[in-house]
Structure 1
């Protein structure tokens, strides 16, 4: 498994989709500062300090950018095996298709946390360059822990989408659209029970993120329900991967290849 994860990171160096992810994870912090600058006084945060900047960046990331970016890159890593016609070669070594998918999903999970740290760093830079006040050790630690944790939980929330769209080549972009709607819809869920169970918001509840400013509610989500939601997403992903087999086209290519080898090895005159 470690070999698969290492290979995936080596492959990422050659893919431009990683650059798209870095650009996408740069935007939440910039959007937070820009929105605060152009918004009317009635809707702006009165004391927009570093804590408010981190909160706004996390909210924008979890509901808009992270679901799309994680699904895009995760689906792309799997889809490349189909489009580059390399899957049939990989399956000739003693690695099952399910194990290969688990390795790719784990690699993307590690990358999602790294993206969270990258977004945290960008937020610090944007805040300092913008002259925002209120930077302290407590804010730094809280922002880092919440950013990393919410990155991981948001990835878990979209894992079933990535796993399902890996069943067939060429459909991962549909998963990107579904993930966008999945994240964007979270903004309109007000009921505390629904917020606790909705996978995109479950990570926010677990990390004790204050959604009151963004959802006009002061009631905290239920931690037990949120943990249950995250567990269900993990179990659903495992089930989908376990039930996923290589596309029939790959089996056909492998079958034809073995047939051609047998024909070439067959002695003449027989």
Structure 2
């Protein structure tokens, strides 16, 4: 498994998709400052310090950018094996398609945390460049912990989408659209119980992220429900991986079914 993960990171060096991810994870911090600058006085954050900047960046990332970027890159890594016709070669090695898929998902999980670290660094640089005040050791530590945790848990929330769209070549872009809607819809869920059960928001609840500023509600989410929700996403992903067959096997079954249909039609013709 470690070899699969290492191989995936070596492949990433050759893919331009990684640059798209880095650009995408740069936008949330800049968007946070820009929104604060152009917003009307009624909706601006009264004390926009480093703590508020980190919170705004995490919120923008978790609800818009992370679901899309993680699904895009994760799906791309898997889809390349189809488009480059390397899957046939890989499966001749003593490795199952399920193990290969699991290794790619784990590699993307590590990459999601690295993206969280990158977003944290960008937020820090953007805050310093725009003269944001309120920087302290406590703010730095809390921001780092919540950024990394949110990245990992947001990836957990959209894991089933990546796993499901990996079953066939060329459909991962549909997963990107679903992930966007999945994340964007989180903005409109006000009820505390629903927030706790909604996977994208479950991660924020687990990380003790304060959603009051962004959702106009001070009622905290339920930690137990949130952990159960994320656990269900992991179990669902495992089930999808287990029941995913190699493309060759699916193709053979389809050919046998087609051959059987023609055979039956030939027998009827006689």
Question: What TM-score do the two structures reach when normalised by structure 1?
Answer: 0.92
- Per the alignment, residue 63 of structure 2 pairs with 63
- Per the alignment, residue 4 of structure 2 pairs with 4
- Per the alignment, residue 43 of structure 2 pairs with 43
1:248 shift after superposition: 3.4
Unaligned runs of at least 5 residues, structure 2: 253-270
- Per the alignment, residue 117 of structure 2 pairs with 117
Distance 2:250 2:169 in 1: 11
- Per the alignment, residue 126 of structure 2 pairs with 126
Distance 2:160 2:16 in 1: 24
> Across the two proteins, how many residue pairs are aligned to each other?
253
Quick check: 1:88–1:250 contact (8 Å CA) kept in 2? Answer: no
1:16 aligns with 2:16: yes
Quick check: 1:113–1:148 contact (8 Å CA) kept in 2? Answer: yes
1:109 shift after superposition: 0.1
Distance 2:6 2:158 in 1: 22
- Per the alignment, residue 166 of structure 2 pairs with 166
- Per the alignment, residue 101 of structure 1 pairs with 101
Deviations 1:189-228 (A, max 9, x none): 0011000000000000000000000000000000000000
Within 5 Å, give how 1:110-259 maps onto structure 2: 110-248=110-248
SS of corresponding position for 1:178: helix
1:42 shift after superposition: 1.1
Deviations 1:210-254 (A, max 9, x none): 0000000000000000000000000000000000011137866xx
Distance 1:25 1:15 in 2: 17
Give 4+ residue runs of structure 1 displaced > 3 Å after superposition. 248-252
1:75 shift after superposition: 0.2
Structure 1 window deviating more from structure 2 (57-66 vs 40-49): it is: 40-49
Distance 1:198 1:246 in 2: 31
Unaligned runs of at least 5 residues, structure 1: 253-270
Distance 1:95 1:193 in 2: 42
Distance 1:96 1:131 in 2: 53
Quick check: 1:87–1:250 contact (8 Å CA) kept in 2? Answer: no
Distance 2:115 2:248 in 1: 35
Quick check: 1:186–1:198 contact (8 Å CA) kept in 2? Answer: yes
Question: What TM-score do the two structures reach when normalised by structure 2?
Answer: 0.92
SS of corresponding position for 1:200: helix
